[in-house]
């Protein structure tokens, strides 16, 4: 396989005639991690890091022979969740305005010779997490900040890695409550919520709405059936394929029961939309 990949950090979706972006940390990547479908001897991972590990600059002509595959995170964080976490994190107004949901996805890039590479993209705010649970957060929360890659042609298809889901990081613990019924001394029925479990912060797989045979939504989840990430075929050399994510990260609060993020275990519609709602658009230029 003659394909090479260069992973690049960038906060912008703009692409000039030449791609020039800083790389901020030293990387060692096994081909087995980046090319899940390729042999152990290929492809080569291209990096340009100084011997000291300091930032260095890489220029890759945006011309025939290369294609840029990237992710643009335009999603927001729900105001109630921000209000809950911001005081604990002592965030400034500017930091609050810059918050983005931590979103992870794995894209498969298939080449004309039938070989492919799978690259993990991870974007958004990695420090937006309840400090009381920071030690329990998944270790891969901040494993990288890759939002685009430069690959050699010829690319025939870009798609979500089969068998995987787009994931969003839930930055708070979610308390689970059960509604119980009991009888008081006078023989009357008394109902009340009891906490039965708590889920620590972690990545949550986003799910597509449930629909019936006629295509009508029977249970709204995180992604509408028309808003999924569709495959992009026949990518031309010199082009840019940008997966744009829009939506809002939300978590439930069981009103009147808890001031913390929480839900009733019997409330199926609420549980189905934990994590928020999202749309995926693909821009090809």
Q: Is the pLDDT of residue 72 over 80?
A: yes
Per the CB < 8 A criterion, the answer to whether 239 and 154 are in contact is no
pLDDT tens readout for residues 244-265:
999 999 999 999 999 999 999 9
Domain count, the chain: 1
Q: Which of 31-45, 53-67, 120-134, 219-233 has the lowest mean pLDDT?
A: 31-45
Tokens representing 21?
A: 């972006």
DSSP string, 248-269: EE---B-TTT-SSBEEETT-HH
Q: Is the pLDDT of residue 223 over 90?
A: yes
Q: Is the pLDDT of residue 141 over 70?
A: yes
User: What domain range includes position 77?
Assistant: 5-284
Confidence bin at 229 (pLDDT 50/70/90):
very high
Q: Is the pLDDT of residue 215 over 70?
A: yes
Share of the chain above pLDDT 70, in %: 76
Location of structure tokens 């994590």:
275
Question: Which burial class, exposed, middle or buried, applies to 111 when counting CB atoms under 10 A from its CB (0-12, 13-18, 19+)?
Answer: buried
Tokens representing 272?
A: 């189905």
Question: Which burial class, exposed, middle or buried, applies to 263 when counting CB atoms under 10 A from its CB (0-12, 13-18, 19+)?
Answer: buried
pTM summary value = 0.76
């Amino acid at each position: 396989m003659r394909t090479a990949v260069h992973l690049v950090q960038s906060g912008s979706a703009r692409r000039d005639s030449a791609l020039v972006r800083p790389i901020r940390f030293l990387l060692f990547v096994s081909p087995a991690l980046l090319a899940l479908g390729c042999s152990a001897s290929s492809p080569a991972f291209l990096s340009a890091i100084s011997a000291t590990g300091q930032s260095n600059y890489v220029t890759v002509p945006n011309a025939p022979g290369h294609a840029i595959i990237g992710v643009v995170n335009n999603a927001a964080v729900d105001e109630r969740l921000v209000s809950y976490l911001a005081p604990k994190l002592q965030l400034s107004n500017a930091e609050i305005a810059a918050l983005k949901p931590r979103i992870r996805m794995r894209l498969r890039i298939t080449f004309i010779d039938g070989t492919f590479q799978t690259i993990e993209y991870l974007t958004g705010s990695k420090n937006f997490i309840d400090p009381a649970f920071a030690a329990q957060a998944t270790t891969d929360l901040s494993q990288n900040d890759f939002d685009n890659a430069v690959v050699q042609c010829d690319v025939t298809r870009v798609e979500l890695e089969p068998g995987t889901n787009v994931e969003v990081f839930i930055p708070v613990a979610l308390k689970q409550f059960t509604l119980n019924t009991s009888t008081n001394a006078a023989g009357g029925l008394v109902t009340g919520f009891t906490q039965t479990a708590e889920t620590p912060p972690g990545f949550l797989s986003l799910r597509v709405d449930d629909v019936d045979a006629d295509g009508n939504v029977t249970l709204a989840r995180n992604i509408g059936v028309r808003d999924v990430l569709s495959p992009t075929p026949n990518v031309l050399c010199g082009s840019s394929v940008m997966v744009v994510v829009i939506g809002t990260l939300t978590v439930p609060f069981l009103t009147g029961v808890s001031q913390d993020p929480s839900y009733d275990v019997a409330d199926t519609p609420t549980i189905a939309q934990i994590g928020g709602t999202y749309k995926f658009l693909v821009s090809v230029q």
